[in-house]
């Protein structure tokens, strides 16, 4: 008999398209593909405006994940890959996007995407990705002026959160909410390493801590860790958070409390910032090539 085990870390893949827009009326169609360690996104822009995107889980093969992400973004648009003028790959798998015209680092793409999503007053960006987190400063054009990343350990990242979701058998999308169901805030788990944080969380459960209290302690540890990364580059307002964990209010609100700063809220999906930035880079690069007569 096979055990039908629920995968608590699993989140739903999804796509979106601007149904009020006809891409055929545009001049330049560009795409950005962000292949991260946990999730991959494809964004299509028409004349530098967001037209469609798709968010999927990264598989074991980066080129396949890139293809799958783009196919989902193209779905129901009547557009094919040949209609796209320029593609930029980004993320840890950026050099493995087979149909990309150029690879650009995720640091530059997140800054560009954040500038589009949250406005040109954004100066500090926190990108909490699947396996690392980055603190980025940028200017009014979304150009990076300073960056620092910590990718030595999965704590403070999407992967760390998924490990905890499975351990506590709480759907990953409910962790943030549940972490506030405590009478008072417990001290953060002491470890910054995801492996030790996992065993520490197990010990707390054995000691009779409710799941919500363990989650509060873990979210607080994550928040403390990324807040110190941000403090080491210096906080400049305005502040914006990109990446999957931006959707976890258990971590976001604790970061805001430590830093005494509110992160900008936008209508856009925080997880597509890298791919969106890549699609915007693609437009600039395409125009440069056109100007040189090589596009």
Partner 1 sequence: MKANYGYTDGSGDYYITIETEGCLKCTEHDCVDACPQDVFAIIEDDYDDLVAAVVEEHRRSLAYVCSECKPASDPPPLPCVEACPQNAISHSW
Which residues of this chain interact with partner 1, rule CB under 8 A?
A: 104-105, 107-108, 137, 143-153, 192-193, 228-229, 232-233, 281
- Shortest separation between residue 177's beta carbon and partner 1, angstroms: 29
135 DSSP β-pair partners = 126, 148
Give the Cα-Cα-Cα angle 50, 151, 72 (nearest 5 degrees).
Answer: 30
Closer to partner 1 by CB, 232 or 265: give it.
232
Task: Report the alpha-carbon distance of residue 139 to residue 131 in Å, rounded.
Answer: 26
Residue 150 vs 270, nearer CB to partner 1: 150
Shortest Å distance, C-beta 161 to partner 1: 19
Between the alpha carbon of residue 166 and those of residues 146, 159, 162, 163, 284, the distances in Å are 35, 11, 6, 5, 42
Q: How far is the CB of 269 from partner 1 (least distance, A)?
A: 23
Nearer to partner 1 among residue 103 and residue 261 (C-beta): 103
Alpha carbon of residue 32 to chain centroid: 14
Of 14, 116, 21, 24, the closest CA to residue 73 belongs to 14
Of residues 24 and 288, the one with the C-beta less far from partner 1: 288
**226 vs 259, beta carbon nearer partner 1:** 226
Q: Residue 32 CB, nearest distance to partner 1 (Å)? A: 13
- Structure-block tokens of residue 59: 């598989």
User: Residue 221 phi/psi, 5° resolution?
Assistant: -65, -45
- DSSP letters spanning 36-58: -SSEEEEEEEETTEEEEEEEEE-
Would you say 69 or 104 has its CB closer to partner 1? 104
Least distance from C-beta 157 to partner 1, angstroms? 13
Cα distance between residue 8 and residue 19, in whole Å: 33
Residue 29 DSSP code: E
Decide whether 53 or 92 has the Cβ nearer to partner 1: 92
Please say which residue, 22 or 139, places its beta carbon nearer to partner 1: 139
Smallest separation, CB 194 to partner 1 (Å): 13
Distances (CA, A) of 282 to 25, 203, 241, 249: 19, 49, 23, 32
Please state the closest distance from residue 110 (CB atom) to partner 1, in A: 11
**Residue 169 CB, nearest approach to partner 1 (Å):** 29
Helices and strands (H, E) in the chain, number of each type: 8, 10
Structure tokens at 13: 């893949």
């Amino acid at each position: 008999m096979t055990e039908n085990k629920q995968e608590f870390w699993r989140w739903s893949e999804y796509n979106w398209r601007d149904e009020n827009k006809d891409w055929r009326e545009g001049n330049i169609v560009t795409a950005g593909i962000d292949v991260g360690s946990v999730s991959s996104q494809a964004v299509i822009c028409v004349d530098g405006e967001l037209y469609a995107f798709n968010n999927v889980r990264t598989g074991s093969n980066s080129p396949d994940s890139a293809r799958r992400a783009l196919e989902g973004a193209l779905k129901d648009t009547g557009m094919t890959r040949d209609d796209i003028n320029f593609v930029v790959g980004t993320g840890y798998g950026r050099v493995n996007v087979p149909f990309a015209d150029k690879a650009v680092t995720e640091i530059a793409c997140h800054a560009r995407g954040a500038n589009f999503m949250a406005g040109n007053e954004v100066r500090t960006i926190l990108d909490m990705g699947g396996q690392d987190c980055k603190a980025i400063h940028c200017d009014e054009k979304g150009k990076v002026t300073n960056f620092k990343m910590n990718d030595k350990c999965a704590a403070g990242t999407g992967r760390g959160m998924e490990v905890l979701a499975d351990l506590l058998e709480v759907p990953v999308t409910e962790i943030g909410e549940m972490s506030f169901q405590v009478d008072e805030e417990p001290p953060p788990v002491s470890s910054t390493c995801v492996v030790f944080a996992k065993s520490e969380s197990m010990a707390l459960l054995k000691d009779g801590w409710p799941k919500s209290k363990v989650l509060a302690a873990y979210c607080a540890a994550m928040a403390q860790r990324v807040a110190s990364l941000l403090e080491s580059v210096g906080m400049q307002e305005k502040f914006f958070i990109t990446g999957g964990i931006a959707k976890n209010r258990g971590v976001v609100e604790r970061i805001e409390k430590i830093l005494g700063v509110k992160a900008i809220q936008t209508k856009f999906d925080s997880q597509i910032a890298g791919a969106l930035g890549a699609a915007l880079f693609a437009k600039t690069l395409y125009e440069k090539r056109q100007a040189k007569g090589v596009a």
